[in-house]
Structure 1
Amino acid sequence: MEAFIHGIILAFGLIVPLGVQNIFVFSQGVTQPNIFKAIPAAITAALCDTFLIILAVFGLSLIVLQFEWIRLILLIGGIFFLLYMGKVIWGSNSVEIKGKSALPIKQQVFFALSVSLLNPHALLDTVGVIGTSALKYKGSDQILFAVACMGVSWIWFFGIMVVGAGLKRLHISENVFVILNKISALFIWGTAVYLLISLL
């Protein structure tokens, strides 16, 4: 259960900040005429995250576990990266929501693929943070960690799509997004401390 809970906390901390991927899925919930027409964007983003998580957890770890010194370097690097990412997210005080016009299914899928797989921050999050965090687990614990991360991703993307659809007629204060970023930074810093304790 430790691996599962760790996966949930880490994935939640990484996915909450409203970067381009989250903003796009949220904007589709806001701009599409009904919630069902925004589903392609949410599914595509979640599938991309699932692919990246599987690649990071099982692909990276298979190589690194053979060399303890590489594992140690990556874990230390992951801790510093988490600390830096938390600092950047904590200081993020503005969000700009774009994409005011409804997109057809093909364009939704294309843009969701672009912001998910061509986004360096998304790649760093999965390979650099989730992948290295998974190195402390083996066997079934590693599987539970990956499943937890993927589960959070699917729930989150469908959740922000639903919220966007429900709040499309309301004015959303920017303060809401600032608070979410602060909470996310605390989760990320907590994960860095957890990894540091595991090293010691």
Structure 2
Amino acid sequence: MTYLPLLEGFGMGASLIMAIGAQNAFVLKNGLQGRHRLPIALCCALSDMLLIALGVAGVGALIAASPLLLQVVRWAGVAFLVCYAVAALRRAWRGESMSLDGRDERSLAVVLLTTLAVTWLNPHVYLDTVVLLGSLAARYPGEGRYLFGVGAVCASFLWFFALAYGARLLAPLFTKPAAWRVLDVGVAAILLALAWGLVSGA
């Protein structure tokens, strides 16, 4: 049995999951603040595992074959990305979210709902995990496609836990209010670029 599908799945999964977006920005910010790191990382990784499993099972091909469904996902994604970008710009303007003391006024339920929102309302999650990874997995016959999926899932778990817990290494930098403003402005710029890519059909 060859492990090439496993390695390729890990590599492709990592390259897609590590791209900066709303989900990674959320995990990074809460990791910097020491807020609910374990449940956030676990929620993101398990969500990816489910989406990748759907892709490997062939759901991605069904989505790609439905122009109407793709349009719905596309425009819902544009609205989500723009709203999240505006929220980031407001935080940058007001100078919010600058505390790294680990205190969190939000309940775990609210944090998990927000995590699910930035994961499942982001159209790139479906395009990357279900459609793209599902299509790549379909190239392998038999158990090869499942090994590809396992590799992608392993990359997801490794990335989200590394991001959530490794973010604290950057904590000294983010004791400066200007650093939070730069982060929020950068996140907003990336999200608006992603939204424009969806609008323009890129």
TM-score by length of 2: 0.62
Instruction: Give 1:60's aligned amino acid.
Output: V
C-alpha separation in 2, matches of 1:149 and 1:166: 26
Aligned length: 147
The aligned runs of 1:123-138 (5 Å cut-off) are 123-138=126-141
Q: What is aligned with 1:81?
A: none
Q: What is aligned with 1:82?
A: none
Q: Percent identity?
A: 30
**Cα drift, residue 128 of structure 1:** 2.0
Contact 1:61-1:135 at 8 Å conserved across structures: no
**Cα drift, residue 38 of structure 1:** 1.6
**Cα drift, residue 17 of structure 1:** 1.2
Q: What is aligned with 2:85?
A: none
Matched, 1:122 2:121: no
TM-score by length of 1: 0.63
Q: What is aligned with 1:85?
A: none
Matched, 1:8 2:10: yes
Q: What is aligned with 1:17?
A: 19
Matched position secondary structure for 2:151: helix
Q: CA RMSD in A?
A: 3.3
Q: What is aligned with 2:47?
A: 48
Q: What is aligned with 1:75?
A: none
**Cα drift, residue 108 of structure 1:** 1.6
Q: What is aligned with 1:90?
A: none
Matched, 1:112 2:115: yes
C-alpha separation in 2, matches of 1:158 and 1:19: 16
C-alpha separation in 2, matches of 1:120 and 1:62: 16
**Cα drift, residue 61 of structure 1:** 7.3
Contact 2:60-2:130 at 8 Å conserved across structures: no
Gaps of 5+ in 2: 66-87, 191-202
Gaps of 5+ in 1: 65-69, 72-94, 182-200
**Cα drift, residue 156 of structure 1:** 0.3
Instruction: Give 2:133's aligned amino acid.
Output: I
